[in-house]
Amino acid sequence: MESVILQIAARHMRPILIVLSLVVLYRGHNEPGGGFIGGLMLGAAFILYAMAFGVSKTQKSISFSPVTMTALGLLIALLSGVPALFSGSPFMTGEWITLFQHTVVELKLGTPLLFDVGVYLTVAGMLMLVMFSIMED
């Protein structure tokens, strides 16, 4: 199936979806969103591309394999639990550092965000892994 409309749409939608998925990932802690939804969106971005251009072309256009992405996600999620051990808390306790504090704006980073990044990558990776292998022909 070669559709010019789909191809043009996919080419322009992909970066937008990727950025959007990152936004959803980051804002997840306070507003609706999070790693799982973000991961689904990221996966969807690549699946849309694969529907328009085919799996092999999509895989060529990205420099990592879905397997690596899944594994990396799991690893990050696992490692995010480790910092808590150094402060004597149980594995996976949330640890936070405030990078920037102002009366209005506040930037906090914590291991739960890192964990969410892990979820995000794992979900997207597994989605791409499954879809690519089924769509491939």
Partner 1 sequence: MNSGLLIGLLLLLSFLAPFTRRYLNNLAGPLYAIVPVAGIIYYLRALPVILKGEVITESYKWIPVYDINLSFYIDGFGILFSLLILGIGAFILIYAGKYMVPYPMKGRFMGYLILFMAAMLGIVVSGNLITMFVFWELTSISSYLLIGYHHEKPEARTAALQALLITGFGGLALLGGFVLLGLPYGTYELSTILADPEPIRSSVLYLPALILILLGAFTKSAQFPFHFWLPGAMTAPSPVSAFLHSATMVKAGVFLLARLNPVMGDTQIWHILLTTFGTVTMVMGAWFSITQTDLKKILAYTTVSALGTLVLLIGTGTQYAINAAIIFLLVHALYKGTLFMMAGNIEKMTGTRDITKLGGLFKEMPVAAIVMSLALVSMAGIPPMLGFVGKELIYEATSLAPTSRYLILLAAFFTNSVLVFLSLRLSLDVFWGKRSDYQKKPFDPYVALMAGPVVLVLLSLLLGLFPANLAAPLTAMAITSVSPGHVAVGLKLWHGFNLVLLLSALTLFTGYFMYRYKRMILEHSGSINLRYFAREFSNGFVAAVDGFLHFTKKQTSRIQHGYHRFYLMTVFAVASVLVWVMIWRADPIILELNFADMPLNLVAVVVLIIAAALSAVISHSRVIALVAMGVIGFGISIIFIAFSGVDLAITMIMVEVLMVILAMAVLYHLPKYAKYSESGARMRDGLVASLVGAFMMVLVLQAGTTQMSEPISSFFKEASYSEAFGRNVVNVILVDFRALDTLGEISVIAIAALGIFSMIKLSKRKEI
Location of structure tokens 């507003």:
31
Examine residue 29 and tell whether it contacts partner 1 (CB under 8 A): yes
Q: Of these, 51, 53, 54, 59, which contacts partner 1 (CB under 8 A)?
A: 51
Which 112-131 positions form the footprint of partner 1 (CB under 8 A)? 112-113, 115-116, 118-119, 122-123, 125-127, 129-131
- Residues recorded for the chain: 137
Give whole-number Cα distances, 71 to 19, 50, 66, 68, in Å: 22, 21, 9, 5
Q: Strands (DSSP E) along the chain, which ranges?
A: 96-101, 106-110
What's the closest the beta carbon of residue 35 comes to partner 1, in angstroms?
A: 7
Q: Of these, 10, 26, 33, 49, which contacts partner 1 (CB under 8 A)?
A: 33
For 91, residues 6+ apart whose C-beta sits below 8 A from its C-beta are 81, 82, 84, 85
Q: Of these, 2, 4, 5, 30, which contacts partner 1 (CB under 8 A)?
A: 30
Q: Among the candidate windows 9-17, 31-39, 56-64, which touches partner 1 by CB under 8 A?
A: 31-39
Location of structure tokens 């491939």:
136
| Vertex 49: Cα angle to 43 and 55 (nearest 5) | 90
Provide the binding-site residues for partner 1, judged by CB under 8 A: 24, 28-37, 40-41, 43-44, 47, 51, 67, 70-71, 73-74, 77-78, 81, 91-92, 94, 96, 108, 110, 112-113, 115-116, 118-119, 122-123, 125-127, 129-131, 133-136
